[in-house]
Structure 1
Amino acid sequence: MTAGRRGAGLTAKWRIFTGLPAGLKALIGLSFVVALGSYMVTPFIGVLMVEAVGMDIRVAGVLVAVATFIQFGGSILGGAVVNRLGLKRTMVGALALRTAGLVLLGVAVKVPWVAYPAVVLVAAGPALYLPANKAYIVTSVSDDLRPLFLGVSSAALNAGMGLGPLLAALLIDADPVVLLVGLAGLFALITAAHQAALKPLARRPAAAPGTAAVPATAAAGAGGRTGKRAALRGALRPVLFTGLAFYLFFFFQSFIGLYAARISHVQVLGWVMLLNCAMVVLLQPVLADRIARADYRLLVVGSFVLMGLGMAAMALGGTPALLAGTALFTLGEVFLFLRCDLELVDRVPDDPAFAFGVQRLTAGIGGLLAGVVGGFVFAHYEAAGNLGAFWLVVAAQCAGAALLALLLAGGRRRPAAPEPPLPDPAPAEPAVAR
């Protein structure tokens, strides 16, 4: 009986997906291609700066750190840009910025000073694109379907993130100019596909049949701004735990490659990242409804505990320990990051692009702090010949985050969503901004 119900639920979700407007289905597919192309270059920017451009490794490190902060922290501007340009034009413009940045990176191989504006443009693209991408999705579906489709979107992005580095590893020995210009061409096509496939959305979803539509500017006055500030004050705890989650995640993302190279072989990194992304792809959409309804405190505490156990497993060294630790860490990531998205959007429901911009700003701050702190800690234990202790330090921080969540996170549950109705045979397109 349980298996039958589960199969019926999956069938219903599939029918909901197939009944979506063509533009939204295209965006989910394009999200995969964007992440694939992005992660063919993003993890290797430091290598390109040093090996192809000839930049000093210390300068390259600073440039990459600044680019990382721009890529995440710059998303706080996403809400303002969306308010001025709209969701579709923001995404198209952001992809054009990244295309231009990739062209300039190719030029920088011959003209090194061009690397500075090139890296900034490459980072600025996703800073604006990703908040608008997620906002387009949550604006296009009902509140009940937000968890499912944020999970599907995350799965598409993570699939691209997992496959991109593996594909790039096969091409990294090619002429860097050819590789970068080829990627620029890919992003030009992606930009054109967004322009052709997406409908301009109003800032609010269409009203239900038989009700009056809410004007897109209704929340733009002083009352709307006051409400946003009040909502953000209520979101301080979710923002805190989002920042902690990204701080701990960037220890994993930034230092797992160096650790793998020291104790095994850098090629292990490809399998580690593939496992990380594959688990998110396979688990997050399936568990989305349960993650949305779970007790907030228990979910956050449990997620940090799982992340800590994963870090402690990595301290054992060896490829099996790395893979087992990655699996535990990723399980915590699957639960935590989707719920962080949902909590922030729930608190700023009238401006999801702004909510996702705040989320990515906390990610940028967390990544910057993890890079600074982790660099010193990693160097200390490498000099001491005890790299495993690095992950024990990270595990201890995960335990501290879990304790903080136990004390401060409320036990709020999101209301259970009713069973979604099956789509009409010919669903209406999303609301078009007038």
Structure 2
Amino acid sequence: MRAGTAGKGAGRRAPLTRHQLLLLGASFLITVGSFAVLPYMSVLLHGRWGLGLGTVGAVLAAASLIQFGGGVFGAALARRIGLRATMLTALTVRTAGFACFAPGGGGPVLAVVALLLVSAGAALYLPANKAYLVAGRPEEERPRLLALSGSAFTTGVALGPVAAAPFVLSEPTALFGAVALLFAAVCGAHALLPPVQDGDRTSRTGRTGRTDRGTGVRGRPPREPFAPAERAPFAYALLSVYVFMYFQHYLALYAIPRMSAASYGFLLMAYALLLAVLQPLLARWTAELPYGRALRLGFGAMALGTAGLATGGPVGIAAGAALMCWAEAVLFLRNELEALAGSAAPAATVFGRQRLAAGFGAAAAALFGGPLYGAAERAGDTGLFWLAVAAQSLLLPVAGWAVGRARRDQAAARTTAPAAVPAPGSGPASASPSGSGSGSGS
């Protein structure tokens, strides 16, 4: 399967509009501001506000689930009030969250509330942001636009922690205040965007998406059905994020004892910058890659990458991180393109469902990762942890394919089951039980 005709018209790329440039610039600034604070939250919650490590873990897990899984609520809000209004609402919530961090004596309760507000704002913002970016643009332009969006976010991830490092522990109040002002300015810039319709697109099945302000019962927007063609991208997005979040959560714990903290920081920055370059460079190739092959290459790269981490040496860790970066650049974008191509729902709804899948995957990795890493520690070789992750990267997609194949076969059997024919002279009550499925395809 292909996401669309990404290769057509490749030589006549339409220039980015000033509104798209504003969104991409805002995406960079938003991520710089967010990652000036969020990577240090465990230190701040524990060291500054005195929360126990168990409580810190529970708070961060809840924040992650809200940030990822809340995307479906962001999509629902976009259907009700529109894309621009949803982004403005999200940025207002995030500004309020960072402003709550600023008071020096606010205490741990206010800090937790602030973190949850920041996470909720992120959940509301991203589906509307991506939907606005691709609204009204031809299908062949989606890969480049989504890749540029990913690069803008990723570059912010690379620079935010470095920019904040001198201030986050010594002057946290000033840092939180500066980030709140940054978000307020970005929110004001979003007010300059014109309203657009989310739904000016046709999927490869020929179905046209609805606008972002559709009406339903008593003025409520209609619920968009979860198309069968979206189920595979949803499932594989869940599995890919599940495997990837092992890398995200546990690399520091594993790598820092094997290299200096400065070297690890450099590795993270190199990873983010490499991802920012790879995403747009590989966008057209990724879009033209058949979906099944993209899954095999992506999950295979993650399996090789985590196996490389298991060697424990700096070269193996660096090579493993590079393979994970390549897999992230290809697999995550290809899942989004496949979901968009197979659905007639508004783009914000599709992106929200992909975020929900990511939330489930991240939560599952957090739930199982700690005990698995602990078991490897008790066995005396934490490299076994990464080998277990590599095995999951190979086996889980195969299991997902087998389940999907079984369901498709069952659906095909129900659809093609012949109607029961009564025996000569018999009444309707003598029909064969096999006729109970007749008409299922109508």
Same fold, TM exceeding 0.5? yes
The corresponding residue for 1:173 is 169
User: Following the alignment from structure 1 to structure 2, what is the Cα–Cα distance between the partners of residues 101 and 74?
Assistant: 16
The corresponding residue for 2:89 is 93
The corresponding residue for 1:315 is 310
Deviation (angstroms), 1:367: 0.7
1:339 maps onto 2:334 in alignment: yes
User: Following the alignment from structure 2 to structure 1, what is the Cα–Cα distance between the partners of residues 59 and 321?
Assistant: 28
Deviation (angstroms), 1:225: 5.4
Query: Deviations 1:60-90 (Å, cap 9, x if unpaired)?
Result: 1100100000000011111210012211111
1:324 maps onto 2:319 in alignment: yes
The corresponding residue for 1:62 is 58
Q: Which amino acid aligns with 1:343?
A: E
User: Following the alignment from structure 1 to structure 2, what is the Cα–Cα distance between the partners of residues 94 and 218?
Assistant: 18
Q: Which amino acid aligns with 1:28?
A: L
Deviation (angstroms), 1:350: 3.6
User: Following the alignment from structure 2 to structure 1, what is the Cα–Cα distance between the partners of residues 209 and 361?
Assistant: 37
The corresponding residue for 2:277 is 282
Q: Which runs of 5+ in 2 are unaligned?
A: 1-8, 203-207, 406-442
Judging changes above 3 Å, is the alpha-carbon distance between structure 1 residues 215 and 249 closer, same or farther for their aligned structure 2 residues?
Answer: closer
CA contact (8 A) 1:97 1:125 kept: yes
Q: Which runs of 5+ in 1 are unaligned?
A: 1-8, 208-212, 411-434
The corresponding residue for 1:80 is 76
The corresponding residue for 2:408 is none
Judging changes above 3 Å, is the alpha-carbon distance between structure 1 residues 109 and 297 closer, same or farther for their aligned structure 2 residues?
Answer: farther
Q: Which amino acid aligns with 2:65?
A: F
The corresponding residue for 1:267 is 262
Deviation (angstroms), 1:121: 0.2
The corresponding residue for 2:122 is 126
Deviation (angstroms), 1:402: 4.3
Deviation (angstroms), 1:255: 1.0
Deviation (angstroms), 1:112: 2.4
CA contact (8 A) 1:131 1:354 kept: yes
User: Following the alignment from structure 1 to structure 2, what is the Cα–Cα distance between the partners of residues 270 and 92?
Assistant: 33
Deviation (angstroms), 1:389: 1.4
Alignment of 1:200-219 (within 5 A): 200-205=195-200, 216=211
Deviation (angstroms), 1:188: 1.2
Deviation (angstroms), 1:220: 4.5
Query: Deviations 1:147-187 (Å, cap 9, x if unpaired)?
Result: 11111111111111122122222333322111111111111
Judging changes above 3 Å, is the alpha-carbon distance between structure 1 residues 346 and 51 closer, same or farther for their aligned structure 2 residues?
Answer: same
The corresponding residue for 1:295 is 290
Q: Counterpart of 2:166 in 1: which secondary structure?
A: helix
User: Following the alignment from structure 1 to structure 2, what is the Cα–Cα distance between the partners of residues 176 and 29?
Assistant: 25
CA contact (8 A) 2:80 2:212 kept: no
Q: Counterpart of 1:171 in 2: which secondary structure?
A: coil
The corresponding residue for 1:383 is 378
User: Following the alignment from structure 1 to structure 2, what is the Cα–Cα distance between the partners of residues 395 and 194?
Assistant: 42
Cα RMSD, aligned residues only: 2.5
Q: Counterpart of 2:238 in 1: which secondary structure?
A: helix
CA contact (8 A) 1:106 1:180 kept: yes
Deviation (angstroms), 1:218: 9.1
User: Following the alignment from structure 1 to structure 2, what is the Cα–Cα distance between the partners of residues 127 and 273?
Assistant: 24
User: Following the alignment from structure 1 to structure 2, what is the Cα–Cα distance between the partners of residues 272 and 359?
Assistant: 28
User: Following the alignment from structure 2 to structure 1, what is the Cα–Cα distance between the partners of residues 161 and 337?
Assistant: 29
CA contact (8 A) 1:52 1:176 kept: no
Q: Which amino acid aligns with 2:72?
A: I
The corresponding residue for 2:28 is 32
Q: Counterpart of 1:386 in 2: which secondary structure?
A: coil
User: TM-score if structure 1 supplies the norm length?
Assistant: 0.83
Q: Which amino acid aligns with 1:65?
A: A
CA contact (8 A) 1:258 1:266 kept: no
Judging changes above 3 Å, is the alpha-carbon distance between structure 1 residues 180 and 395 closer, same or farther for their aligned structure 2 residues?
Answer: same
Q: Counterpart of 2:283 in 1: which secondary structure?
A: helix
Q: Which amino acid aligns with 2:254?
A: Y
Judging changes above 3 Å, is the alpha-carbon distance between structure 1 residues 217 and 392 closer, same or farther for their aligned structure 2 residues?
Answer: closer
Deviation (angstroms), 1:383: 3.5
Deviation (angstroms), 1:138: 1.5
Q: Counterpart of 2:102 in 1: which secondary structure?
A: helix
CA contact (8 A) 1:305 1:402 kept: no
CA contact (8 A) 1:296 1:409 kept: no
Q: Which amino acid aligns with 1:82?
A: A
Q: Which amino acid aligns with 1:35?
A: T
Q: Counterpart of 2:50 in 1: which secondary structure?
A: coil
CA contact (8 A) 1:74 1:124 kept: yes
- Between the two structures, name the one with larger relative contact order (CA 8 Å, sep ≥ 6): 1
CA contact (8 A) 1:139 1:203 kept: yes
Q: Which amino acid aligns with 1:115?
A: A
The corresponding residue for 1:137 is 133
Q: Which amino acid aligns with 1:127?
A: A
Runs of 4+ more than 6 Å apart: none
Counterpart pick for 1:235 among 223, 227, 230: 230
CA contact (8 A) 2:229 2:343 kept: no
User: Following the alignment from structure 1 to structure 2, what is the Cα–Cα distance between the partners of residues 214 and 367?
Assistant: 29
Q: State the structure with more CA Rg.
A: 2
